[in-house]
Amino acid sequence: MNFTITRQNLHQGLAAVSASIPTKTTLPVLSNILLEVRDDAVWMSGTDLDVALRVRVPVDVTEEGSLTAPGKKLQEIARELPDQPVELVTRGDQLEIRCGRSVFKLNGLPSEEFPSLPEINFGEGWRVTGKELQRLIHHTSFAVSTEESRPILNGVLWELRDGLMRMVATNGHRLARMAVPAGPATATSADFIVPPAALQQVQRLFKAEAELEVARSGNHLGFRSQGTEVFTRLIEGTYPNYEQVIPKDNDRIAIVEKGTLESAVRRMAVVASDQTHRIRLTFDQGRVMLNVLTPDLGEGQDELELQYDGDEMEIGFNANYLLEVLRYMPTEEVRIAFKAPERAATVEPQVPEGEEPLDYLCLVMPLRLLD
C-alpha cells in the first residue's frame, strides 16, 4: 500500500472514524483504523462491534493494499503534521508516515484481523434528508433509558412509513415523540430500535442538507451519503405500546413562557431532594406556584403568571425530567396539559398563530406528593 494525501484530508478522515474506537477493549484490532486503498481513494473504517463508521477520502494512489494502524496515535500524528502532502507506505505490518522532514513508523495489524462490516444493499432502502433525521434525533433521543434492566428502552424507536417518519424514546418516567413528513419509501414501512450511540454518529457525520440512504440487512441498519457510511446493530425485541401511556383526555391546559418556567424550576431544583428531585406545582387562575420542602435542607417557593383557567390543582414532578423536556421544546411558549395529580402530564410546543403545527409531544410522569 502506498498513497499520498493532503494533511487536512487525512486528519478529517481519521477524526470522522476514530469516534467509533472503543476506549477499552480486549481485542487489540478494535483500537485500530482499517485503511483500504483501492481505485483513487482510501477507505477508513473503525468499529466497536456495535457501531461501525467508514469514510472515503480521495488520494493519489501509487500501490493498492490494506492495513490496520493504531487509530488514536495516527490521528494525533496527523493533527501535528505540517500542512504538506503526507505519504503513507506499508512495510510488512508497519505503516510509515512521511511529511516534509517528519517520519513516523507505527506497528499495525493485518487487515484480515479487522471485523468485517455488515453487507447492506442500499438499493432496497429509504431516502431521508439529513435535516429531518437530525430534528428527530435531537428532539427525542435525550429521553432514552440508561438502565440495563429493560434493554429495549435503551434504544430509540424509529418508525418509517410512506410519507411519515416518527421517533419515540422513553425511560418509563418521561417520553418524547416526534413525527415529520417524509418522502415516499422505496421499501415497505418498517420499525427499528436504534442505539442512541449510532444516532449520535449520524448527527455528527451527516450535514442537514445531505440526502441519506438508509437500509436494513438482518439485524443491522446502514446510513450512507457521499462516501460516509454508518452501520449499527439494532436492539432486538418489541417496543412497548407507547400510545397506551399517552393520555388523550387531559383537559386542564396551562400555556406558559418556556424560559420563565425553566428558570423557576431550575431555582427550585437547588433545594430539592437529591434522591427524588421532587418539586410541587400548584396551578390556579392565571398563575402557578412552585414549592419545594426538603426537611434536612430547607425550602423554596416561587410564583409565575401563565394562561390557566381550570380548577386549582397540585402536581409533583421530578425537576430534572421537567427541565430536560423544556430544554428540547422548539417554541417560546409551551402547552402543558394534565387531568389529575396521579396522571401523566403532556408538554407540547405552543406554535404561534399562522405557523405550521409541530407533531411533537413529551410526557412526564408525576411524583406522589407527600404531606
- The top-level CATH class assigned to 122-241 is alpha beta
CA dist 363 and 247 (Å) reads: 9
Q: Which amino acid is at 329?
A: M
Structure confidence at residue 188 (pLDDT):
67
pLDDT, residue 187, reads: 57
d(CA 77, CA 139): 37
C-alpha cell, 42: 482510501
Q: Domain coordinates of the chain in residue numbers?
A: 2-113, 122-241, 246-364
What's the CATH number for 2-113?
A: 3.10.150.10
* Residue where the block lists cell 417518519: 165
Query: Which residue stretches of 19-161 are H helix?
Result: 71-80, 130-140
Find where cell 428558570 sits.
Answer: 263
Please give the full DSSP string across 276-292, using - where no structure is assigned: T-EEEEEEETTEEEEEE
Domain 246-364: CATH class, spelled out:
alpha beta
What is the per-residue pLDDT for 244?
94
| Distance from C-alpha of 180 to C-alpha of 129, rounded to nearest angstrom | 11
Residue 75 zone, left/alpha/beta (φ > 0; ψ -120 to 50; rest): alpha
- The confidence score (pLDDT) of residue 84 equals 95
Q: Specify whether the CB–CB gap between 37 and 64 falls below 8 A.
A: yes
Asked if residue 252 lies in contact with residue 283, where contact means CB atoms within 8 angstroms, the answer is yes
Q: What is the pLDDT along the chain (371 residues), one digit of tens a residue?
A: 999 999 999 999 999 999 999 988 889 999 999 999 999 999 999 999 999 999 999 999 999 999 999 999 999 999 999 999 999 999 999 999 999 999 999 999 999 999 999 999 998 888 899 999 999 999 999 999 999 889 999 999 999 887 889 999 999 999 999 999 876 655 567 899 999 999 999 999 999 999 999 999 999 999 999 999 999 999 999 999 999 999 999 999 999 999 999 999 999 999 999 999 999 999 999 999 999 999 999 999 999 999 999 899 999 999 999 999 999 999 999 999 999 999 999 999 999 988 989 999 999 999 988 65
Bridge partners, residue 52, by sequence: 47, 231
Distances (CA, A) of 340 to 136, 239, 249, 321, 343: 30, 27, 11, 18, 5
